[in-house]
Structure 1
């Protein structure tokens, strides 16, 4: 039962009953509703701040999963970058050293540029847009596949068109040297054994016994044979083989020569016996590679029959600035 309210009437000096209108009832009801709404809002805010709903927990787990997925994508993108750099370096070595061609302009180097562009865009746009991230990753994957396909097709084409280059390339040591102990002096500044001054040594010296086999390091045609030299200076008895594509190999200070000018030889054929002719202080083979008229380091071409450890061993020995044998 609603309480009855009275008010004092000063004119009649009596308490008169207060009459309520519908407006009074409406205002009271509206006040109650407003108070209830404020209290309910406050309760909901406190509940949301300190208690998780099932939906909130689900969204939190989903966000954590997406964050982990994005971090994995970031790591994968960096890994793709390093792999592309390695492929780029490998392709450059293949083209420059084996095929004597310039590296592909639309190959791995372009891929690296495109990759960097897309990756920087990802970083600028952030990792919150999952659709954008997946689109960028898809573009990078397409670039990587297209680059690998283009590069490999180009290598296959060059291999087919230049199959003779692979067999004519001077790619082995000119003497049997399985224990790697015969390399005596490398390419570069060395001490001359006669006047003891530092001079440029344009080849590699392999210490041998007289009569050891001297091998052709690649297929080619014998360009020059110099024999019966009695002078104790210069190359003595020596052979030059033209391998084509601007490559010529020279084998000096030989003993008996077993080929003639114009002969065709195969890689690994015996072309002479080791000796001590010309300006030489001990039996050895002086070996040079000449590319387009310029003498270059032969060690860089000894790629057949050597694993990484063996090559590093030869590189270490050849790098010592010792006294040459000629």
Structure 2
């Protein structure tokens, strides 16, 4: 039973009963209910921050650790990407240019993966956005690494061919300077010693005593060693590959060859000896170089065993228009 409350009325000098209005009671009750609802809602929304269970705290810790590791892995991938980018740049601007290979376009190196969604399995998972980004970065890095690996294999093959080319080019003088009497005639128009007419001389004539050693000017295979070509007398032809052939003519008549057809020779090997066979006026070596079956000036290839001063003197002498010896 609720208590009845009274108040003292000074006018009547008596106690009167306190009457509570129903409207006031209703509003007070409604206010209490609203306040209780709001308090309950706040507790529901924020209780996990203040009243976390041990399991919940452990799960949240794992998620935070996972996100931290994902961030660290993304930084590692970014560093690897920078390294491969540096290798790609050197590959395009140095290696591939040096070996006459076309650079690989950036669009090809860094292309993504089209078609179906490759990362659908990660959607809806915790930290899904970071995981998908990291997985996509790793896949692109794998592809770039594979492309770069193929490029380096190609460069290695080209380097081997380049090394063979540098060894094969006829790049030294066929007779040593100390064995020379003089450089009698060069490549170009000269006076024929037999009919005194002006005609083109397709090689270089090196005057030297009979029996002076003649050297192979580059690696190759002996193509011919005979006297069956008009005017050349005893002569040797070496196929160096890559379209290059060298010819050594007017070799001596007694045991003129140190080599035979089909034999492999190295630059600097003695292949024969100076003589005066064939259409020759005096002992000398007539030397020619062919590129893709066209005669070219041998003076352009003497970078293997001449100093700059020796080369300049030889160049000057070869340009003099005099009488050739063959």
- CA shift, 1:293, in A, is 0.7
Unaligned runs of 5+ in 2: 1-93, 105-153
Aligned partners of 2:179 and 2:212 also within 8 Å? no
Q: 1:155 to 1:195 in 2, by over 3 A?
A: farther
Structure 1 moving runs of 4+ over 3 Å: 154-161, 178-181
Q: 1:105 to 1:319 in 2, by over 3 A?
A: farther
- Aligned residue for 2:306, secondary structure, equals coil
Task: Tell me which residue corresponds to 1:37.
Answer: none
Q: Distance in 1 between matches of 2:280 and 2:174?
A: 18
- CA shift, 1:304, in A, is 1.0
- CA shift, 1:324, in A, is 0.4
Task: Tell me which residue corresponds to 2:235.
Answer: 238
- Aligned residue for 1:305, secondary structure, equals coil
- Aligned residue for 1:317, secondary structure, equals helix
Q: Write out aligned runs for 1:1-326 (5 A).
A: 158-178=158-178, 182-227=182-227, 234-255=231-252, 256-326=256-326
- Aligned residue for 2:177, secondary structure, equals coil
1:101-154 CA distance string (max 9 Å, x none): 69x899xxxxxxxxxxxxxxxxxxxxxxxxxxxxxxxxxxxxxxxxxxxxxxx9
Q: 1:287 to 1:279 in 2, by over 3 A?
A: same
Aligned partners of 2:203 and 2:298 also within 8 Å? yes
Q: CA RMSD in A?
A: 2.8
Q: Distance in 2 between matches of 1:242 and 1:212?
A: 23
Unaligned runs of 5+ in 1: 1-90, 107-153
Aligned partners of 2:183 and 2:207 also within 8 Å? yes
Aligned partners of 2:180 and 2:206 also within 8 Å? no
Q: 1:176 to 1:278 in 2, by over 3 A?
A: same
Return the TM-score normalized by structure 1.
Answer: 0.50
1:252-290 CA distance string (max 9 Å, x none): 001111111001101010001110000000000000000
Q: Distance in 2 between matches of 1:163 and 1:173?
A: 20
Q: Distance in 1 between matches of 2:157 and 2:181?
A: 39
- CA shift, 1:182, in A, is 2.7
Return the TM-score normalized by structure 2.
Answer: 0.50
Q: Distance in 2 between matches of 1:308 and 1:105?
A: 35
Q: 1:155 to 1:310 in 2, by over 3 A?
A: farther
Q: Distance in 1 between matches of 2:288 and 2:323?
A: 17
Q: 1:105 to 1:253 in 2, by over 3 A?
A: farther
Task: Tell me which residue corresponds to 1:29.
Answer: none
Aligned partners of 1:170 and 1:218 also within 8 Å? yes
Choose 1 or 2 for highest CA Rg. 2
1:152-180 CA distance string (max 9 Å, x none): xx998844442111111100001111487
